[in-house]
Each structure stands twice: as structure tokens, then as C-alpha cells.
Structure 1
């Protein structure tokens, strides 16, 4: 090979490397949270079921009764009650998440499980009981931290089961997130029928998530409601991974919310703060969930906050707003 050919080959090689370097630099600059994302933000707090009793997640399965494995109680609040929600707001929460089951008399009861045996002194399915019957139950009956030797919340939950309407009325100017627990479109239609009676300004403060079928039922009737399911969140993130390097936010990511496990956030273009800024501009909330995400793991202790990105200005999912608020808002 002549020296002239070698020189030309080297020039082409360096030109190619220069183009690649420029492209990589441009990609970094366009998606650098450090260079372009907002700084100095403070987290917004989503209180999962108000202030709840927490429990270790090791060995938890879909059918595990978590009430029988709680940590020794540091408070007397029972999840999904108005008193626990009020305590969370008083502690500094910005939004409350709560669960919904439909009763035998077609009422929207605020309760987590589809059956009663785990947490209460009742038996059978929630949907097989009337609201009046459910109100007579003790919501704290089944909670124990020592394998059943003691039940510290027993007797403290009688008559505390609220309806969705009562929660909305109790917190008229606050952000609420409703979890449709069963993948039944009829339950989504029932919730949508109630939400449709609310004025537009109140509806703007309420979000819905849960199973795909009921969430679709709500979204189809009330497209102005921020609604999300596992499918909508997956569709958004897959599309964003494919195109987000350009700064484009796909339509699937607009006017919704993302419950994003913190360990997967780093995969997102512009993570963390530029990603949050882009989604906020698309009217989408980014809610950071601790760990892998399948069991609604919250940022509940000071040690949990070590995994939160610096200057995080999105949402944090917590079961203990009373513990976390003073740590993130000194």
C-alpha cells in the first residue's frame, strides 16, 4: 500500500471518529440532566394509603396477608381510613393514594383487599357485602407484629371504612389518586359514573390507576382524567426509550403518570431531572417507587432516600409521610 493510500485511509478513519465523537457529544448534551435539567427542586410526596403500617417485603407473594407481618407499630393509623389520610396531609404529603372495591349494593368502598379475612373480623369477598355490613367490621382486627401473640390495632378500626365520595368530600382541595384494585371494567364504569358528577376543577385534582380494563373504562368516558395502568406505563416507557434521545415525548407519555421503580430510572433519556422536566411539560407525573416496584415499596426510612437522585423534583412514593417529610424538606 502506497503512503498516499495510507494517508487517505487514516484521514477517513479520523473523520469517521470525529463524526462519531460529535454525535455522541451532541447526544450527551441534548440529554444531560446535569447541563439542562432543573436543579434545586424538592420532591413531592405521594402518601400510599395515607400513613400505613409497614412490613418486610422478603417472601411476600400475591396472596400473602401482609397484616400478619407488620413491623412493630410506631403509630396507630390504619391504612385507607380518613384519619390516616388526614394525618398524611398534616405531615406534609402532597397527594394521597387509596384503594377502591365495589360493594354488593354498588357502593365505592375504600379498602385494599378483595376479601376480608386478612385485615378484618369479616369473611368473604367485599363485593358480596353491603356498605352497611362493611362499616360494622373492625379494620384493625388482623394486624400483628409478633405472629399473633398481640394485635395492637384490634378494636380501633370499627366503623372507619369510608367511601370514595367521603374521601373526596373530606379533602376538597387536595390531590387524590384512586387505585382500582380489580381488573373489572364494570368497576371502572362505576367509578367513572361518580367522577362525572364532579366539577371540572375538582376532576383535575383526581387521578386513577389500576387494572387495564377498569382504567380504560374511566379514560374512555372521562379523557380529561389522568389515568394509568401497567399497559399505559409500559407503552410510554418503551416508546420513550426508542425516541427520547431526540427530546421527543411520545403521545403515550402525555397526560398520564409513571410509577417508576428507582433502579430502572437510570435507563431513561435525560435521567433524572431532564426526564422529569420533559414529562412535566407533557402533563405527566413521574412517581419514583423504591426497589423493583412490584409491591408498592415506599421510601419510608432515612436510609431509603440514599437511592433518590440529587435534586429530585418528581414525586416520591411513601407509606410514612410523617417520617420522610422532615427529611426531604428540612
Structure 2
């Protein structure tokens, strides 16, 4: 009886292994694109140490020694990112008190500028008076290499859209404010269809829900179900099924976890694309609260040279040229 049980269990395990392999092997994946997409996180800006990083850490006070003159979320930083090979530039927006949108990452202006207060409680005109290079230091405050060089560099959403009418963007809504969702939808709905088709909006909560209802023609990627997505995909992804929480979202995978994800890279990328999602490979995660981007050649080489997803990077100046001219 026991022998029969183990025999049946062995057959079942073998059948599962064969099925899982057949469903997930890249040998049967769709034809690959020539290269992955490159997403430049906040355009091209200064990078910083992530050691001990918390949600409220001022990252401007811990930058590495600058290797280029660009600051994140600026027109010039976006130009440099596209010139280096970005396919998509990600940026953050905040509504202002005068009905505009400022392109700026932080919830407050205290870290990067000489001002104080919540970003969305400022007018665009007042934000443009600030020096966004004011707070950057690589030596604990002995020197401030960008101070005086960032005056007036906070762009409005309108300025970005006008400067890059044919470029692709990924816009992050950072709040839970329904009004923000309505306002952003109203602005993007005025764009020509061909320009709006180049824009994706992502985030979670009421703001993104309201945006999605108000701008159904814009591609929206929700992030509220990210944890549920990974758990359910781990349990069911072997079968080729894409759980509901993995649809219409950014499926973001750290590079060191990626080989263990069902169907990674191309079978997974194709399935996600069929359900309106984008597979994005990040840098390594070693148990920290946050994950790095693919910011150096060593990390890039751990990613398949050809796959139908995207690479998330904070150093598009390094990664973009390597992706466009891959080394075998």
C-alpha cells in the first residue's frame, strides 16, 4: 500500500514537473525583441548610498561624488536620459495650489531646496523660485556642489509634455487624493491621442482609481496588489495563469530573484503583456526595505541580454549604451 502511494506520488510529481517546464520554458516563448526597454527612474540624476535608508531619509545629503551635472526630475535630466538610451522616463508629480502639476519627487521641499513645507501646499510660481540643487552634498555638508545651480529647475508637467511630445513617460501619482486623480486626468485628456498613447500612469489608492475612471484611454498600472500578486503568482504561475492582482500593473522583480519566477523572462513577459502589465527587472534586493535599480554592468549582465520586458535604472548614462550595444 505504501509502495503504491509513493509510486502514484512520484508519477504525479513527474507530471507536474513536465507540465511546469513545458508551460514556462523560454524554448516555447514568443519571438524576442532585439533588446529590453530601458526605464530611466527620475531621468538622469545623482545617486546615493542606500545604507540604512528610511522613508523619510534625505537622500540629497548622501549622494556619491558627482559624475555628471544633472539633477533628477528636470528637463535637462530628461534630455540626458533620452540621449543615453532611455525608452521611457519615469517621473513624479504633485498638484500645486494654483492648479498646476510640479514634477518633483519628495513629499516636502525641505531636503533638496532652501525652502520648507509640503510640496503640494506651494504654488508653481513659488516652487520655481527654489534652488533644487541647494541640499546636495557628498561629504557630509562640507561642500554643496549643486548649490546655486538648480534655481528655477522644477518643471511643470505642461513644460515636460511640451518639451517631449513624442517621448514615452511613466508618471507616478504619489498621493491618495481623489482630487489629484481628477486633475491629472483632465490635463492628460487634452493631449492628442498619439501623445497620450505614450504615457503610462502608476500608483495606488483613491487617486489612481479616480484617474483610471476619469481617463479610460490612458494606460494605468495599479500597485495596490503588488504583494498579493507575488504570492499568488508563486503559487499559481507554474500553470501559466496570471492572477488578477498581476494584471494592469508593474510586475517588478529584483534581478537576484528573477530566475526563480515562473516563466521568467519571456514567457512571463508575454503573459503579463497580454493582461496589460509590464515586466520590469530591478537591481538586487538583499533584504532591504527598498530595491536598487540596475545601475552597473555587473548587475546588467545577470539579466538576459534579450527579453521582452524592461530594465529599471538610476544610471541610464551607464546602462543605456550597454543595452543598445550589448556585449556577448
Deviation at 1:171, TM superposition (A): 0.9
Give unmatched runs, 5+ long, in structure 2: none
Deviation at 1:299, TM superposition (A): 1.1
Cα–Cα, structure 1 residues 12 and 317, in superposed 2: closer, same or farther, change >3 Å? closer
Do the aligned partners of 2:255 and 2:299 also contact (CA within 8 Å) in 1? no
Superposition TM-score, scaled by structure 1 size: 0.89
Do the aligned partners of 2:40 and 2:313 also contact (CA within 8 Å) in 1? yes
Question: Secondary structure in 2 aligned to 1:307?
Answer: coil
Deviation at 1:12, TM superposition (A): 7.9
1:51 corresponding residue in structure 2:
44
Question: Secondary structure in 2 aligned to 1:300?
Answer: coil
Do the aligned partners of 2:203 and 2:224 also contact (CA within 8 Å) in 1? no
Deviation at 1:319, TM superposition (A): 1.3
Match of 1:150 among 121, 139, 143: 143
- Structure number with larger C-alpha Rg: 1
Match of 1:229 among 219, 222, 226: 222
1:244-259 mapped onto 2 (5 Å cutoff): 244-259=237-252
Instruction: Confirm whether residue 115 of structure 1 aligns to residue 102 of structure 2.
Output: no
1:212 corresponding residue in structure 2:
205
2:55 corresponding residue in structure 1:
62
Which deviates further from its counterpart, 55-64 or 271-280?
271-280
2:296 corresponding residue in structure 1:
301
Partner Cα separation in structure 2 for residue 315 and residue 236 of structure 1: 18
For residues 207-241 of structure 1, what are the alpha-carbon distances to aligned partners after superposition, in whole Å with 9 as ceiling and x for unaligned? 11123221111112223322233314344444434
2:279 corresponding residue in structure 1:
286
Which deviates further from its counterpart, 20-29 or 289-298?
289-298
Do the aligned partners of 1:100 and 1:178 also contact (CA within 8 Å) in 2? yes
For residues 270-329 of structure 1, what are the alpha-carbon distances to aligned partners after superposition, in whole Å with 9 as ceiling and x for unaligned? 122211122123332111121238545211111222432453331011111111122222
Deviation at 1:13, TM superposition (A): 5.8
Do the aligned partners of 1:103 and 1:126 also contact (CA within 8 Å) in 2? yes
Partner Cα separation in structure 2 for residue 222 and residue 53 of structure 1: 33
RMSD: 2.4
Do the aligned partners of 1:119 and 1:141 also contact (CA within 8 Å) in 2? yes
Superposition TM-score, scaled by structure 2 size: 0.89
1:101 corresponding residue in structure 2:
94
Instruction: Confirm whether residue 319 of structure 1 aligns to residue 314 of structure 2.
Output: yes
Do the aligned partners of 1:117 and 1:124 also contact (CA within 8 Å) in 2? yes
Instruction: Confirm whether residue 21 of structure 1 aligns to residue 14 of structure 2.
Output: yes
Partner Cα separation in structure 1 for residue 12 and residue 96 of structure 2: 64
Partner Cα separation in structure 1 for residue 4 and residue 221 of structure 2: 53
Instruction: Confirm whether residue 83 of structure 1 aligns to residue 76 of structure 2.
Output: yes
Give unmatched runs, 5+ long, in structure 1: 1-5
